[in-house]
């Protein structure tokens, strides 16, 4: 485990500030109002279920934007969460949690976290400060937990020590079932609603034998679950009391959900990875079925149809928006800052494959505009958050991962 030098970090930040100054990160190519995406879709012949479900018109932020690298040298950072003092909790997938100050000082790994199974897409995943952090200093994180016979996604909570060097009284409050010996599609993103319920997003583990479990209410695979902060099950969850159903389940029929955000009106929105095509933005409703693997946009990685090749079926929900080709979405957040008043209520989505932040303009529950931000960085954007001053912060999923600030220049 290496030591990260503050002097090197500050030097990198200064150089990056110079490189990023004055960049038109907000520029949208092409004619105003034309869709940003011009490449052919993988799902040839597939039609959206309603106008505007894909390839939204391009929009542009007229304010000049610039990014600054605040910290670097992180190993595949995954989750990003703001602390009340302006510092950031940042996870690294191999199993380390660090605190990075707003000035770029990178702390030593926080001690006391349980072991992770850091294979493939597994490891230490998302992190969140609890809704009562100011009173109890509780933080929450998700991770691929090594278990007998394989692994699965788990969620733990603990008290962050006063000096931020360790976690105390670790409790595992949720364990996804069944256990599976694989290294893909663990999910997993965390979000608290205003009532203190914790939403946890999960993948269906990718491999063909596991896919059908996304439709099985006796499995957590391919689900979004809703629990209380202590891990107990809210009594108003949609499947409480149903024979054969796991009571934590909020929604089903998901592939690999790695982004979740609570809208200003309390609605739960998620981002889901597709195959070759079919990344989805969904507005979740309790008990609803979002279709995977029965319906999906796009095609298999091999090029053939996904199951029957259908994109709609009665009783299954359509995504609010989808991408084909994919952007490979990571974390997401609603913008509510003062720096860019015109962005308020917009969704900011981290894009891994296409290496940008997608700004989605929402009206009436639909996407009516899309912009690509932070394109000048050229790195896989894993998670995104908004600071109190309205600046946008992001982490990059790279061997030399970075914490980046995007702001008006």
327: left (phi over 0), alpha (psi -120 to 50) or beta: alpha
Tokens of 72: 């670097």
DSSP labels for 187-225? Answer: ---EEE-TTS-EEEE-B--SSTTTGGGGG-TT--TT-EE
Whose tokens are 């610039």? That residue is 66
d(C-alpha 27, C-alpha 24), whole Å: 5
On the 0-12 / 13-18 / 19+ scale of CB atoms within 10 A, 69 is buried
d(C-alpha 132, C-alpha 321), whole Å: 33
Of the candidates 144, 163, 157, 147, which has an alpha carbon nearest to the alpha carbon of residue 192? 157
- Per the CB < 8 A criterion, the answer to whether 130 and 157 are in contact is yes
Of the candidates 34, 41, 64, which has an alpha carbon nearest to the alpha carbon of residue 370? 34
Helix (H) or strand (E) holding 12: helix 6-20
d(C-alpha 350, C-alpha 358), whole Å: 7
Helix (H) or strand (E) holding 403: strand 401-408
d(C-alpha 144, C-alpha 151), whole Å: 6
d(C-alpha 409, C-alpha 53), whole Å: 33
Candidates 67, 76, 185, 273; catalytic one: 185
- Per the CB < 8 A criterion, the answer to whether 215 and 237 are in contact is no
185 is catalytic: yes
Compute the radius of gyration of the chain from its Cα atoms: 20
Tokens of 255: 């592939």
User: Which residues are identified as catalytic?
Assistant: 185
């Amino acid at each position: 485990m290496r030591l990260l030098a503050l002097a090197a970090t500050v030097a990198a930040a200064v150089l990056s500030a110079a490189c990023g100054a004055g960049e038109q990160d907000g520029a949208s190519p092409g004619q105003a109002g034309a869709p940003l995406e011009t490449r052919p879709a993988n799902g040839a012949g597939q039609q959206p279920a309603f106008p505007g479900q894909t390839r939204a018109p391009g929009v542009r932020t007229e304010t000049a934007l610039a990014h600054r690298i605040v910290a670097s040298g992180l190993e595949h950072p995954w989750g990003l969460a703001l602390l009340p003092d302006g510092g950031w909790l940042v996870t690294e997938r191999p199993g380390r949690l660090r605190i990075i100050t707003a000035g770029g000082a990178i702390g030593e790994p926080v001690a006391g976290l349980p072991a992770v199974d850091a294979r493939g897409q597994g490891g230490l995943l998302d992190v969140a400060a609890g809704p009562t952090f100011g009173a109890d200093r509780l933080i929450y994180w998700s991770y691929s937990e090594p278990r007998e016979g394989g692994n699965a996604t788990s969620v733990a909570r603990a008290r962050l020590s006063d000096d931020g060097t360790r976690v105390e009284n670790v409790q595992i409050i949720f364990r996804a079932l069944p256990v599976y010996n694989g290294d893909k599609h663990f999910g997993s993103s965390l979000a608290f609603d205003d009532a203190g319920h914790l939403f946890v997003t999960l993948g269906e583990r990718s491999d063909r034998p596991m896919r059908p479990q996304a439709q099985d209410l006796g499995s957590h695979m391919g689900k979004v679950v809703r629990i209380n902060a202590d891990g107990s099950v809210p009594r108003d969850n949609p499947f409480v009391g149903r024979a054969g159903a796991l009571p934590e389940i909020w929604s089903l029929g998901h592939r690999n959900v790695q982004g979740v955000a609570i809208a200003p009106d309390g609605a739960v929105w998620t981002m889901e990875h597709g195959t070759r095509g079919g990344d989805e933005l969904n507005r979740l409703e309790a008990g609803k079925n979002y279709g995977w693997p029965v319906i999906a946009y796009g095609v298999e990685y091999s090029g053939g149809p996904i199951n029957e090749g259908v994109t709609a079926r009665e009783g299954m929900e359509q995504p609010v928006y989808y991408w084909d080709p994919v952007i490979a979405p990571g974390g997401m957040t609603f913008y509510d800052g003062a720096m860019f008043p015109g962005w308020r209520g917009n969704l900011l989505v981290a894009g891994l494959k296409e290496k940008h932040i997608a700004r989605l303009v929402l009206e009436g529950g639909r996407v009516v505009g899309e912009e690509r931000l932070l394109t000048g960085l050229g790195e896989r954007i894993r998670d995104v958050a908004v600071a109190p001053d309205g600046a946008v912060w992001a982490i990059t999923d790279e061997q030399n991962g970075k914490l980046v600030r995007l702001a008006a220049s």
